[in-house]
Structure 1
Amino acid sequence: MEATLRPRTAAPDIPVKHSQRLEIEASLLKAGLPLEGLLTATGNEKLIKSAVRFDDAKELAAKESFKKQKQAWDSPPDTPRFPLVGTSPSKSQRAGMKKIQDFLYPDHLRELRRRFENAPRFMKNKLDLDNFIEFFRSLPEMKGRSDLEIKYFFDKIDCYSEGKIDWDEFCTYMYLELYEREDAKSKAKEVVFSLPAVPLPGPHKDSLCAITHLQDGSMVSCSQDGVVCFWTHDLKPKRIRKTEAGVLGKPKWICDMTIASSQGKVILATGDNEIQFLEMVNFEPYCQISNLDNTPLKIDFWSNPEDSSECLLLVGDDQGCITIVSISNMYETFKIMKAGPKKQGVPTFPIEGFLRGEASNGVHVYRWSLHSSWVTNVRYIGKLRAFVSTSNDSNTSLVMGTPAGSTPVDAILYGHQRSRKSTAARVGARVSSAGGALLLKAHQNIPAKKRLPGDQRIFSISKGVMAFDYCELNNILVTGGMDQVIYLWNPYISERAIGVLYGQGSPVFSLKIDSSTNRICSISNDNTLKMWDLVEQTCLATVTSVVHKVYSTVEALHFNPLRQYVVIGTDQLHILNLAVMGGIPKLDTIQTHRLPVSCLSYSYAFGLVITACDESVVKVWDIMSGECVFEFASVHGTSPITAIDTDQSGRRLVTAAQNGEIKIWNFNNGHCLLSLDKGNDCEITAVKFVSVNQLKYVVAVGWDRTINAFFDSSEPGDVHSSALPIERWKESSSCGHREDITSIALCYPTTLATASFDGEIILWNMISGQLIQRLKSKLEHLKGTSVEEGDCVIHKLLFLESRKRWRNAASLVASGPKGYVYFWNIHEPMKPAGHFQASQFKCLTDMSVDSANTILITADIEGFLSQWDISGFCVDEKNKNAKCIRKWRGHADTINSISIIEEWSLYITASNDCSVRVWTHEGHYVGTLGQKAPWDITNTDTYQYPLSPKDVLLDPFIPTLSQMEDDKYDELGGGGGGEGRKAMISDLESDSAEEEDKEIFARYGLSFDVPRANSPDVEGKRLRHLRSNSAKSSTGYKPPAGSYASLLYQELEAEPDYTRTGTKQTTIRYKKKY
Structure 2
Amino acid sequence: MTEPMEQNSCKPRFLQLLLRKVQKGDYQPETISNKKSPSPHQSEENSLEEKLHLNHLKHLEQLFTAPKGEVLEKNPECKKLSKKQKTYPSGSLTLQELKNALTELLGTEYWNGQTELLFNKIQTAHDNIVDWSEFCSHLLLQYRKRDVVEKTKDTFFQGKPLIRHCSQNKQEPTTRILAIFSPSTTHSFVTVSKGGILSFWDNNLQLQKTYEMLSDAVEAPMGKKKIKVWTTDAVYMPNVHKIAVATTSRKIYFFEVSLGPIFEDFHLFALNYIPTSVFYWYNTESVESCSVLLWGDDHGGVSVLRFLHPNKSLYEKSLFEQTGFSGIYMQDIENHCQFLRYTYIRRLHQDSISQIQYVPEDLCITSSGNSQTSLVIMDMDQKRKAYTWKIKRGIKCFDFCKSLNLLVSGGADCCVRVWNRFVPSLPTAMLRGHSLPILGLAIQEEKGQIFSYSKDAVLKIWDMSYHSCLHTVTLKFPHSQSEDALEQGTFPFLFLQKPFPLILISYIDYMGMLRLPMPTQSETNFATPHKAPLCGTVYNAFFHQVVTGCHNSTIAVWDVETGMKQLILNNTHGEEELTCMALDNSGRRLITAARNGTIKVWDIQRGHILHKLEVVEDAEVTGLVPIRKHIFLTVGWNRKIILYDCSKLENVYVPADKTWKGGQLHKEDILAVDYCPPLDLLATASFDGEIIVWNVETQRPHHFVRKVSRESSLGPVNKLLFLQHRCTDQSLQKAAILISAETGNLHWWSLFGKRMEYGKFYAPLKEDISVTGLSATKNNQLLVTGDSSGFIQVWDISDYGTTLSSSSNPLLLRSWKAHSCTVVSVEHFSYGSDSFIISGSSDGTSGLWTAEGTFVGLFGQEKKWSLRVPATYSSHRNAFQGMPVLDSKLEDTTIEKDRYLWWGYIYCL
TM-score where L is the length of structure 1: 0.43
Higher strand share: 2
Higher helix share: 1
TM-score where L is the length of structure 2: 0.50
Question: Between Structure 1 and Structure 2, whose CA radius of gyration is higher?
Answer: 1
